[in-house]
Each structure stands twice: as structure tokens, then as C-alpha cells.
Chains A and B, each alone.
Chain A
């Protein structure tokens, strides 16, 4: 199975005044080409940081401190900045959570899409770029004549479509969507997700979806990566994970998603995620884990392969 991007032991730390935040901690996984992979986890588990690391856009005081990110055979972390910039928007694109503020309020949406073609050297002619922008808008289901609209003249869902249009304009091989629908209502949310799936097939892209909504992830993805305290604690095909979650945290997340597991009462997970400046010894989840036992508060669990899944939990380490 060919992968579009492969993470090897990637760690990202924020060097804050109050300590080092290990936002992403030794993450290793493979994203197969052409698949829809969701990263799921509570707020602060490091999902956005991981996504930004893929683009090498982790903001200061954050830094990618170790690991390798191999994208289409290239080691991204050793590319010169100029080369990396060329990849952004062209080979790897990202759409963000808040379509209200991700567009420049003072420029027409058509121009903002046209910029992609100009800045990446597809054309130097603004007229030509605007024509392409029109086509890109139509591809995401917005009438082409809206190129002359300002962002405030569009609804939230339409703005997100504009951002998606800009992101896929150059047919990237990987699209990262960081909670693209949290700011939108449920119906619009479903339509945007449909759009992402359609574009994925049409453009033969891989998609990484970042969400805290495991039900949404289960509905749309081929694969799910569950993040906790900067670690990917479980990663595998969606069906296997939903039917038989291996990690107690994955199980907890599923139990707190009512529509997914039928009639069962919402349980939730007692306790709070740890402070990433000072994570607990051993497995980071052990203070909240209903199944913790001897080694959990002493040794950190290694990744274990169980069928086509990887999991980081002492229940499986021997």
C-alpha cells in the first residue's frame, strides 16, 4: 500500500514561558494514498499542531523537534523553505476551522482564489486567473459570477466552499481540513463533508480531517487516528475501530457519542486531559483509565500492531 504521507517519530513542542508543551509526542503513522483519514481527540490533544507540522507552519514558540515527515517520497523537514512554500497550496493544502475570518474581508473572493494561480505561477495574467477562479468556484458548487462578491456577502457555508476552492485549485495530492465544519450548522456541515468526499474522488486526493466528533469521523473516513495528550493512541481502519475499539480511550470516546453506539447512555470520560507541560509518568491516559493495571503508571506503552491497527496500550504489550 503506497502512502501519501508518512510520519516517523514526529514531536512538536511549544517552548512557553511556563514550560515545554509536548503538543505532539513521537507520532508514527502512514496515510495511504487516496484515503480519507480522520484525526479525532479532545481539545488540546495536538490535532491542529500535527496538521500545521505537516505544512511546516507550526507558529512560534512551537518547533518540530524530531522525526521525519515523508510526503510523496520527499523528506519535508529537510526541504529548504522556498521549496516547502511551493508545496503549500499546490501539493498539500489546508482549510481552517473558521470560514468567517479565514478570508480577507477587504478583497473579492474571486481575487482571493485567483491569487493561488498567480502566486504559484500558473499564469501572470489576472484576467486569466479570474477565469480559472470562476471555474474553481463552480467546482465547489458556487455560481461563477460570485467571483465579484466580498466575503461578507456570502454565508458561512459558502465561505468555507470558497476556501476549499482555493485549497484544491491546484489539485493537491493531500488536503488537510482542520475542523472545517464546527462553525457551521448541521445541514451545511453535511453538505461540506459531501463536497470534500466528491472532490477527493474527482481529484484523486487524500484527505486528512481533523475533528473532535468521532461520529462524524466514523461516518466519513476510511481510517481513524485517535489522539490523546499529543500521542496517537490508536490508528486503524474505521470499521475495526468502531466495532472493536482496542484502546480504553477510544472506547470512552465512542461511548460518549450517542448516535454511534445505538441506545446506550452517554457515558463520557471522567477526569480531564493532562497538562502537556508535565504529563503523567507512564501512559498519559492512565489517571483516567478504567482498565489501568500494574505497568501503566510506570512504563510508557510502545506501539503494538494488532492486525492492521496500531495501538499504544499495555493491555496489548504482551
Chain B
């Protein structure tokens, strides 16, 4: 079984993809810090009227007190971004972990035991996979109703097949290997083969898919938020702020859309770099 020091060695060791991996992790870490320490980092509350009421009727450009400007209701854009990190990370982490927790075991079992179960599962997963992610997530989220948790669940529906397909493919490959045949000839139970041969071999793949799913989840979450399917205004959420900001973009208030857009892209980039870095390290080809 992999040890803690083995894992750190795996991530930080001088191997291909190290730069990508570390950059990605640094970006993600920065956002995690924002989320955890939001009350100390954000100068204002997310729905605090931070400008004198005489100015509150129109969005104000960035100045010394509001480095990213304010919205038409006088909310501080920077503070809303900081507080909004919490929702985004919650939804993204929840959906990526949930889809992994469902997709990985299903892929393992399906690839390992084959037969009828495998055929049915593959068919179901393939048909989900065939839908465009955002459309599927929107459909599921509208059925479940707006809430961050429901948004996370609808995103999971999109990514379960990705985990399933990658893991199942790897399992089929490992299952063909001679050392699995040798393990069977020594009378080892399936649990041994899963735990010692299949899982260690699919672990890097799982990490790469996790990075991909999280990247996609950030963008799709922003989409769901845009349509009001995560939180309701004025709760802070990057995607939602982007849409509200659009309303007064034509008044020249570029800051209310630009900054939320930048952080969405940046966090997505962080996860993408992690996925790419791991992919390069383990020479894993991915589709999606």
C-alpha cells in the first residue's frame, strides 16, 4: 500500500509535469486560503453596503477602498469574490468527490466482473456521457431546485461517467496482465487483486480525471450560477455576479464582470494544470 511519504514523493518528486502540478496546486491553495480566511481577508461583508448611500445607486470604479470596484447596490466586488470562493469550492469539491465516490467503484466492479452488469452499466454511462455536460447539469439542477448542494449533485451526474469509463478501461487492461493471472493461480481472492493490483494501477488515472472533472465543474458551476441554480442573489457566487454585472456593463462598469470572470478562469486553470501535470507524469491519455 502507498505510504504518506511515497505519496508526497509522487507529487513533488522531480519527475515530468512537476512544474505544471506545483503551479496548479499553488493556485488552488491560494483560493482555499481565501475561502477559509474570508472574514479576515475581505474588507467588507458580501452583502454589506460599503459606500455612502449617496453613491450607492450606481457602480463605482476601483479605488483605494475598493480595489475591484463596487456593484450598483454598493457591494464591494473584491469582498464578494472572496466570500464567493466558499460556494465555488464547496460545489466543485463536493461534485468531484461525489462523482469519484460513485464512478470509481462502479468502474472497478464493472471492469472486474464483466458480464451482464458490465454491459448494463456501460450502456447507462455511455448514454449519460453522450449528453453535453452543461445541458445535462442544467436539466438535473432545474429538477432538483436551486441550492449549492443540488448544484453539486447535478454536476456529479455529469462526471460519474467520466470516472467510470477511465477506471473501467484501466481495469480491463490490468486484468489482462500476467501478474493478475499469477495472483489468481495462487488462489488470491478478488479483493486482494482489486486492492493490490488494480487500485494502485488506476490511482494516477483517478487523480487525472479528478483534475479534469474539477476544471469542468468550475466552468459548469458558473453556468448554473449564471442561471440562478446555486444561490439566490444577493448571496455571493462568481457566476451569479457575472450575470448581475452584465446588466450594467453597458454603463461602462467593466469591473463587475471582469474580476469574477478572471477568478473563474484562474481557478479552472489551477485544476487544469494539476490534471495536465499528473497526466504528463503518468503518460495518461484522457478524453472528454
Of the stretches A8-16, A88-96, A282-290, the one at the interface is A88-96
Instruction: Find chain A residues with CB under 8 A from B187 CB.
Output: 85-90, 119-120
Interface residue? A57 (CB, 8 A): yes
Contact between B178 and A102, CB atoms less than 8 A apart? yes
Interface residue? A167 (CB, 8 A): yes
Contact between B185 and A57, CB atoms less than 8 A apart? yes
Taking residues whose C-beta sits less than 8 angstroms from the other chain, chain B's interface range is: 10 to 19
Interface residue? A300 (CB, 8 A): no
Interface residue? A306 (CB, 8 A): no
Knowing A96-B181, A102-B182, A104-B197, say if A115 contacts B189 (CB, 8 Å).
no
Contact between A107 and B196, CB atoms less than 8 A apart? yes
- CB 8 Å contact bits of B178-211 with A (1 = contact, 0 = none): 1101111111110010001100110000000000
Contact between B196 and A115, CB atoms less than 8 A apart? yes
Interface residue? A253 (CB, 8 A): no
Kindly identify which residue among B184, B189, B197 contacts A57, using a CB–CB cutoff of 8 Å. B184
Instruction: Find chain A residues with CB under 8 A from B200 CB.
Output: 106
Contact between B181 and A57, CB atoms less than 8 A apart? yes
Knowing A104-B196, A104-B197, A106-B200, say if A115 contacts B186 (CB, 8 Å).
yes
Kindly identify which residue among B114, B178, B192 contacts A119, using a CB–CB cutoff of 8 Å. B192
Contact between B185 and A55, CB atoms less than 8 A apart? yes
Q: Give the CA-CA distance A119 to B179 in the complex, in Å.
A: 16
Instruction: Find chain B residues with CB under 8 A from A104 CB.
Output: 179, 183, 196-197
Instruction: Find chain A residues with CB under 8 A from B184 CB.
Output: 57, 88
Q: Give the CA-CA distance A150 to B186 in the complex, in Å.
A: 19
Knowing A102-B178, A115-B192, say if A89 contacts B186 (CB, 8 Å).
yes
Instruction: Find chain A residues with CB under 8 A from B196 CB.
Output: 104, 107, 115
Interface residue? A101 (CB, 8 A): yes
Question: What distance in Å separates the Cβ of B193 from its nearest Cβ neighbour in chain A?
Answer: 10
Instruction: Find chain B residues with CB under 8 A from A106 CB.
Output: 200-201
Chain A residues numbered 102-132 whose CB sits less than 8 Å from any CB in chain B: 102-107, 115-116, 119-120
Contact between A96 and B178, CB atoms less than 8 A apart? yes
Kindly identify which residue among B185, B188, B189, B201 contacts A94, using a CB–CB cutoff of 8 Å. B185
Interface residue? B58 (CB, 8 A): no
Contact between B186 and A116, CB atoms less than 8 A apart? yes
Instruction: Find chain B residues with CB under 8 A from A107 CB.
Output: 196
Contact between A101 and B185, CB atoms less than 8 A apart? no
User: Nearest CB to that of A106 among chain B residues?
Assistant: B200
Contact between A93 and B185, CB atoms less than 8 A apart? yes
- CB 8 Å contact bits of A205-221 with B (1 = contact, 0 = none): 00000000000000000
Interface residue? B177 (CB, 8 A): yes
Contact between B179 and A102, CB atoms less than 8 A apart? yes
Interface residue? A192 (CB, 8 A): no
Contact between A101 and B192, CB atoms less than 8 A apart? no
Instruction: Find chain B residues with CB under 8 A from A105 CB.
Output: 179
Interface residue? A98 (CB, 8 A): yes
Instruction: Find chain A residues with CB under 8 A from B177 CB.
Output: 101
Contact between B179 and A166, CB atoms less than 8 A apart? no
Interface residue? A50 (CB, 8 A): no
User: Nearest CB to that of B177 among chain A residues?
Assistant: A101
Q: Give the CA-CA distance A123 to B181 in the complex, in Å.
A: 23
Closest 9 CB pairs of A and B: A88-B187, A89-B186, A89-B187, A94-B185, A101-B178, A102-B182, A102-B178, A104-B179, A85-B187
Chain A residues within CB distance 8 Å of chain B: 55, 57, 60, 85-90, 93-96, 98, 101-107, 115-116, 119-120, 163, 166-167
Given contacts A101-B178, A104-B183, A106-B201, 15 further A-B contacts (CB under 8 A): A88-B184, A88-B187, A89-B186, A89-B187, A90-B187, A98-B178, A102-B179, A102-B182, A103-B179, A104-B179, A104-B197, A107-B196, A115-B192, A116-B186, A163-B182
User: Can you spell out 29 A-B residue pairs with CB atoms less than 8 angstroms apart?
Assistant: A85-B187, A85-B188, A88-B186, A88-B187, A89-B186, A89-B187, A90-B187, A93-B185, A93-B186, A95-B182, A96-B178, A96-B181, A96-B185, A101-B177, A101-B178, A101-B179, A102-B182, A104-B179, A104-B183, A104-B196, A104-B197, A106-B201, A115-B183, A115-B186, A119-B186, A119-B188, A120-B187, A163-B182, A167-B186
